[in-house]
Structure 1
Amino acid sequence: MTFQQLGIDQDICDALDSRGITTPFPIQQQAIPIALSGTDVIGQAKTGTGKTLGFGLPLIQSLGLEPGQGVQALVVVPTRELAIQVASDLEIACSNRVTEVVAIYGGKAYEGQVAALKRGAQVVVGTPGRLIDLSKQKLLDLSKIKFMVLDEADEMLDLGFLPDVEKLFAYTPAERQTMLFSATMPAAILNLARKYQNKPIHIRIQDPEEGKTKADIKQFIYRAHALDKDEVVGRILQAEGRGKTVIFVKTKRASAKLTEELIDRGFRATALHGDMSQEAREKSMIAFRTGKKEILVATEVAARGIDVDDVTHVINYSVPEDEKAYLHRVGRTGRAGKLGVAVTFVDWEDMARWVHINRELDLGTPEPVETYSSSKHIYTDLGIPEGTKGRIAKPRVDKPAGEKVSSERSRAEKLQESKSAAPKRNRERRRNYKNASEPKA
């Protein structure tokens, strides 16, 4: 099966082919022909299964080779990072066309986004808050929308965006074509579909033998100890085949601290958390996507919507809040048909939460094995070379904060002592001179 066989125009196929994208995934094979026919779609598939091109290619093709000026397609996503990623994927697909894509999200200056709209961008990918803001200011006109997509709908629900999403639907024409994609289908999302879609076809992609978590993710659960975790992580990061890695932590402070620790150990790590400015977060994500940094240490909220296909490992430095958070976290790996590894550390105080997650997801590990950095099973489980330690660089030897002050004080004290001793030295010189001048008996 090829994209051309699905009905996608040659120029779009050529654009994809230039990036090595030649074979459509199951969700794309089913969604693309239906969407090209103009029918509304509900697409249900786990994160990382290729949903972006499933709606993106029909969207671009429906606008034609030379779309007129102004916004005609709207993709609503839950997070800034996902807005950037989806816009980037759509730009690749329409690189042989004049179609312009703009990402619109909060935390960044309005000027560049508004300028792209004024130039006549036809496709907008954005987060609900900024989209509504620009619409109210009459800077974003959604009255000519032909194609609307709601991506990661269940995350929208989790983050409390559904009222904003309903406002956006109200800004668009009723006769638009609407596609809704979600990993899960809670009642609120189904109600949304009934209210705003017109006789949608429901596509559900799941392997019959697949459990509640993705079958292409190997999962390891260890009962680890707080003081030994960094050393365990350092050894896991040297496992055979380990590529880009996302490490999830509980707090912003933990993200910054662990990132610094890993850098000290010689690893190329970068942080992603809510205290960072939007510019810093974008730089961090760009460095991670391009491979300049290979480890992303992220908090739960900051990492929602991360869409990077070549993440090989996910490490839950601490247990997620619930089974949904667990699925979102481990779903960052095992994407686009590739195998992934997910490692979860369970502290003693987190055992009750873990028992709940394990039961809800049928993971079969109610009692995680007690694990230390020296435990043999982590070497065999994860393919870590024998004798590996958790550090690939010598530890930095930073001068104590007070050393410079101390040395300056020391010099000052020496100078003072020198001044104090000067009169005594002068008296000794005069006495020696006098003795040398007197005639010897």
Structure 2
Amino acid sequence: MNFKELGISQDIVNILKKSSITSPTPIQEQSILSIKQGKDVIAEAQTGTGKTLAFLLPMFENISPNINSVQGLIISPTRELAIQITEEAMKLKEAKDINILAAYGGKDIGSQLKKLKGNIHLIIATPGRLLDHIDRKTIDLSKLKTLVLDEADQMLLMGFKNEVETILKSTCKKRQTLCFSATMNPQVKKLAYRYMVDPLMVTVKKQEVTLENIRQEVVETTDRRKQDSLCAVLDKDNPFMAIIFCRTKRRADNLEVALHQRGYNCQKLHSDVLQSKRERIMKSFRNADIQYLIATDVASRGLDVSGVGHIYNYDIPESVEAYIHRIGRTGRAGEEGYTCLFVDPKDSKLLDEIEKTIKFKIPRRDLNL
């Protein structure tokens, strides 16, 4: 099946071609037509499956530029993800002149307010900033056609349940609601079904295959020796570009200072870093001006950077899903990837759980320190 058969106009198909997107992914194939027809959809799909275009394409088809009202709203849990969705939407704008507003914290609210005086058709927002606009009565969602909850599981995990419900209540009752989530846990289902009408369920199974392209190793160390172990591995591997994952913002801060002192080209990325700086860091990393990105899980949600050959798990993730999610950022599109997990004796229970789930005993890497 191609995009034309899914009801996507030739102008938009031409834009997709410019980005070398010629055929729909499974999630796009299963959901675009139903979304275009106005149905409510609950979709379970991982990052990297093409879900952003699965909702953006039919929304673009359904928005009328000559109607002066907000017709589409996409709510995203993090600023990074909101930025990424906005970038995708801006590319499509070449084909159809739709006014887009990105509303997230860290962006100057004054300029957002000024822009809202104009005619906005599509808003991409984080819950906090959107509520701010709703409270100030600077955004009117009464004529909304389509609302998207993106990464709904992450939204609830980050404690945005009340904000999301308040936003939903301030929209037009007749709207179409789309819910995209990496996992369909009971809370997501409960929220979705409460606000949706007879939704279509679309599930794109996790592609275990991706792990086949990824060589995984474990370094057994202690928390005290972890920094030295990491540096020994980085010196030996010297990757072109890599992401180093830490469990908390403080751990990322400390590691960045330590690596800078040792002369490594690195930058940290987490939610306390100013938005403008985060955007600069991501641009530099995408351009390979930064070799090592030190990130927390929340800040890296939705990060899709091509060319990342190495992932270093400085801290073991909090769950098996998080481990698979982290390492899935390498070994994309048939490329070989490498991941290294640093474990302290207290991490052994979680390591067992990871190995049991991926049905694989991860080889140990000996550093001879």
Same fold, TM-score > 0.5, yes or no: yes
CA distance in 2, matches of 1:28, 1:285: 27
TM-score, normalised by the number of residues in structure 2: 0.89
CA distance in 1, matches of 2:294, 2:264: 12
8 Å Cα contact 2:211/2:328 also seen in 1: no
Q: Work out whether 1:372 is the aligned partner of 2:347.
A: no
Q: Work out whether 1:23 is the aligned partner of 2:23.
A: yes
Alignment of 1:144-159 (within 5 A): 144-159=143-158
8 Å Cα contact 2:245/2:314 also seen in 1: yes
Select between 79-88 and 264-273 the one with higher mean Cα deviation. 264-273
Q: Work out whether 1:77 is the aligned partner of 2:76.
A: yes
Structure 1 unaligned regions, length at least 5: 375-441
Q: How far off its partner does 1:198 sit? A: 1.3
Q: Work out whether 1:34 is the aligned partner of 2:34.
A: yes
- The change in CA–CA distance for 1:311 and 1:201 in structure 2 (over 3 A counts) is farther
Quick one: which amino acid aligns to residue 371 of structure 1?
Answer: D
Q: How far off its partner does 1:136 sit? A: 0.8
Q: Deviations over 1:317-343 (max 9, x none)?
A: 121122233233223334567664433
Q: 1:89 matched to which residue of 2?
A: 88
Alignment of 1:124-135 (within 5 A): 124-135=123-134
CA distance in 2, matches of 1:319, 1:97: 45
8 Å Cα contact 1:70/1:117 also seen in 2: no
CA distance in 1, matches of 2:200, 2:334: 24
- The change in CA–CA distance for 1:191 and 1:253 in structure 2 (over 3 A counts) is closer
Q: How far off its partner does 1:267 sit? A: 5.8
CA distance in 1, matches of 2:55, 2:288: 27
Q: 2:52 matched to which residue of 1?
A: 52
Q: How far off its partner does 1:310 sit? A: 4.6
8 Å Cα contact 2:146/2:177 also seen in 1: yes
Q: Deviations over 1:69-90 (max 9, x none)?
A: 3321000111010000011111
Q: Work out whether 1:221 is the aligned partner of 2:217.
A: yes
- SS for the counterpart of 2:217 is strand
8 Å Cα contact 1:234/1:262 also seen in 2: no
Select between 155-164 and 281-290 the one with higher mean Cα deviation. 281-290
- SS for the counterpart of 1:369 is coil
Q: 1:182 matched to which residue of 2?
A: 181
8 Å Cα contact 2:270/2:296 also seen in 1: yes
Using the aligned pairs only, state the percent identity: 38
Q: Deviations over 1:246-271 (max 9, x none)?
A: 21023435434544565677764322
Q: Deviations over 1:35-64 (max 9, x none)?
A: 112211111111111000000000011014
8 Å Cα contact 1:146/1:176 also seen in 2: yes
CA distance in 1, matches of 2:322, 2:231: 22
Match of 1:283 among 277, 280, 285: 280
Q: Work out whether 1:235 is the aligned partner of 2:236.
A: yes
8 Å Cα contact 1:80/1:106 also seen in 2: yes
- SS for the counterpart of 1:38 is coil
Q: Work out whether 1:2 is the aligned partner of 2:2.
A: yes
- The change in CA–CA distance for 1:195 and 1:353 in structure 2 (over 3 A counts) is same
CA distance in 2, matches of 1:283, 1:42: 34
CA distance in 2, matches of 1:104, 1:373: 50
8 Å Cα contact 1:232/1:373 also seen in 2: no
Q: Count how many residue pairs are aligned between Structure 1 and Structure 2.
A: 364
8 Å Cα contact 2:219/2:340 also seen in 1: no
Select between 54-63 and 16-25 the one with higher mean Cα deviation. 16-25
- Structure 1 or 2, whichever has the larger Rg, is 1
Quick one: which amino acid aligns to residue 327 of structure 1?
Answer: I
- The change in CA–CA distance for 1:110 and 1:8 in structure 2 (over 3 A counts) is same
Alignment of 1:157-306 (within 5 A): 157-206=156-205, 210-211=207-208, 214-215=210-211, 217-225=213-221, 226=226, 227-238=228-239, 244-259=241-256, 268-306=265-303
Q: Deviations over 1:310-366 (max 9, x none)?
A: 53332211211222332332233345676644332222232233223333x24432x
Q: 1:432 matched to which residue of 2?
A: none
TM-score, normalised by the number of residues in structure 1: 0.75
Q: CA RMSD in A?
A: 2.5
Q: How far off its partner does 1:187 sit? A: 0.6
Q: How far off its partner does 1:128 sit? A: 0.7
- The change in CA–CA distance for 1:141 and 1:2 in structure 2 (over 3 A counts) is same
Q: 1:345 matched to which residue of 2?
A: 342
CA distance in 2, matches of 1:175, 1:338: 45
- The change in CA–CA distance for 1:341 and 1:37 in structure 2 (over 3 A counts) is farther
Q: Deviations over 1:139-185 (max 9, x none)?
A: 11111110111111111121111221111111111211111111110
- The change in CA–CA distance for 1:373 and 1:83 in structure 2 (over 3 A counts) is farther
Quick one: which amino acid aligns to residue 153 of structure 1?
Answer: A
